[in-house]
Amino acid sequence: MQKIKKKIIILSISLSAIFSLAFVDNYFEISKNLDIMTTAYRELNMYYVDDIDAAKLMRTGIEAMVESLDPYTNYISESEIEDYRFMTTGQYGGVGASIFTRNNYVEIKEVYEGFAAQKAGLKAGDILMEIDGKSVKGKNTSEVSKFLKGQSGSTIKVLFKRPSETKPQTITLSREEIQIDNVPYYGMISPSIGYIQLKGFTQDATKEVKNALLALKQNVGLKGVILDVRGNPGGLLHEAVGIANIFVPKGELVVNTKGKAKEGEKKYFTINDAIDPTIPLAVLTNSSSASASEIVSGVMQDLDRGVIVGQRTFGKGLVQTTRPLTYNSQLKITTAKYYIPSGRCIQALDYTHRNEDGSVGKIPDSLIKAYKTKSGRKVFDGGGVAPDFSMPVNNYSNITNSLLSKHLLFDFATDYTSKHTKIKPSGEFHLSSEDYLSFENFLKDKDFDYSTSSEKLLEDYKKAATKENYFDAVAEDYQKLKIKLSHDKSADLKRYQQEITTLIEQEIASRYYFQKGRTQQQLATDPEVIKAMNILLDNETYHNTLKN
């Protein structure tokens, strides 16, 4: 017995020594490399041939360091804290308008209903020329945005030019606290189907979805709800848990997180009674639905609480927390992975095992595992949330993409608005054949050339044949084929009239009825919304999907 105790003591001392050495080695490595970095920074600052911006140099070093980990671990300087606050709260001090650059100037892209820009009379299409007497010509959107943002209650003078008018105008705007809604729109899209558009997961997202659902439930004919998280990049984890709780009963596991540090390991359960745990639910997703959006959609799928319609989600299964640094700066760090009720993590990219060139690959198929939902349906990890009803991505034609990139649909809407004081309610508004003819005439002196896929392939063939000295032999055939393939813009305007018209109608509706108007106009022809609506109205398809 004495010998056994002696061996245990010796083993304990040995293990303790090993762990102590490991700790010492790790501490030494950290100290050594910090010393190297400090001395390198000092030598560069003292001896580099040109003057160095010391702060910028260190910022570059920090950013390169965190960039080597993953895209979500970021350094937030003191000057960027306000932008970070906007990301988490949806609030900022400003005038309530989005902007874009064109031809060396910044233009108003959209004004938000009920805020300073709209109340002062600014409109989409207005060109900003000066802010508080300073020219903004040549400035980018980030620079101009900083001019427009500021303390709530402060004022700015803006000189702008409206395309339909000859002389610039000056207006005074009073900045105010701008709150970007997580739920910019909800409503009944048919006598029995309600719709909730969820665009963010900032503070109060749960409250907004709850209020939207309660309002929809006032309609006695309500038989199903569509929750739209397409294009939603995510946000606060506790808001995702709260939104899941609106549809899922009390006591269900929503998500658990696992990280290196103990505080990274947590389980999140629903803690309240659901607002409605049984109403048929369809969640709309696409490849831009990420993070918290994937938690909500994944939980609905894992618990067989609703069907997923659309495209596979982004695949971000990582959790970030912020750590305070000196001088009011912060570090946003990936601290854990999250796992939804079936036990799967939907992270698609493997940042831990980078390729030799530093690039990041997807989780290999050989490592993807199958899991089961509450009713036994098979689901998979390692690549986002796959929809129960997959829909094709809506790719626009070449001519439509060209018109969008050149802002010509936007410009026609600006022109149309200047000539029409009012239109029918959004969702009921439609361009007439005469309106579309006006659009074609509007384009006559505009440059919106483009190349079709066939034309691009033909040009690639010419380059290859020329490089290999074969082109002279096929030049005549090439020219004939080029003539046959050359696109006719007038013909394409007719061929894709419906697609182009739909987008023009949405842009025009937004000028009169703002963001809600754009959404209402879009919903009328949205194929994924229509598909979800049909599923919710077909009880057999809906319930069989959740069982199988």
Integer-rounded Cα Rg, in Å, for the chain is 29
Let me know: does 446 contact 493? Beta carbons within 8 Å: no
User: How far does CA 40 lie from the centroid of its chain?
Assistant: 39
The number of residues making up the chain comes to: 548
- Record the tokens describing residue 460, joined without a space: 């690639």
Rounded to whole angstroms, how far apart are CA atoms 277 and 379?
22
Give the span between the Cα atoms of 56 and 218, in whole angstroms. Answer: 56
297 is catalytic: no
Cα three-residue angle 133-136-137, rounded to 5 degrees? 125
Between CA 531 and CA 545 the distance in angstroms is 14
Query: Which of 302, 381, 492, 526 is the catalytic position?
Result: 302
Question: β-pairing, 253-258 with 266-269?
Answer: antiparallel
Q: Of the residues 139, 199, 210, 316, which is catalytic? A: 316
Q: Residue 182: how many CB atoms within 10 A of its CB?
A: 24
- β-bridge mates for residue 107, sequence order: 100, 127
Candidates 70, 199, 291, 411; catalytic one: 291
266 phi and psi angles, rounded to 5 deg: -145, 155
Contact 305, 285 (CB under 8 A): no
Which of 258, 265, 338, 349 shows the shortest CA–CA distance to 298? 338
Is 405 catalytic? The answer is: no
Write the DSSP assignment of 188-229 as a string of letters: ESSSSEEEEE---BSTTHHHHHHHHHHHHTTSTT--EEEEE-
Collapsing DSSP to helix, strand or coil, 53 comes out as coil
Structure tokens at 363: 């989780």
CA distance 344 to 354: 22
Distance CA 256, CA 269 (A): 9
6 annotated active-site: no
Backbone angles phi, psi at 233, to 5 degrees: -80, -5
**Catalytic sites, residue numbers:** 291, 302, 316
